[in-house]
Amino acid sequence: MKKIEGITAAEKSTLIMLMEAATPATKTTIKDIRQIDKICGVIEAEEGSDIEFEDADYAYLKQRIGDFSGWLPKSRKEVIVMADKLGIT
Q: pLDDT for 6-50, tens place per residue?
A: 999 988 998 898 888 887 888 888 999 999 999 999 999 988 889
Q: What is the pLDDT of residue 21?
A: 85
Indicate if the pLDDT at residue 60 is higher than 90: yes
Domain that holds residue 16: 2-83
Assigned domain for 63 exists: yes
DSSP-derived 3-state class of residue 70: coil
Assigned domain for 89 exists: no
What span, in angstroms and rounded, lies between the C-alpha atoms of 73 and 37? 25
Number of domains in the chain: 1
CA torsion 7→82→55→6, rounded to 10°? -20
Assigned domain for 70 exists: yes
What pTM was estimated for this model as a whole?
0.83
Q: Which of 87, 76, 62, 89 is nearest to 14 (CA)?
A: 76
Assigned domain for 88 exists: no
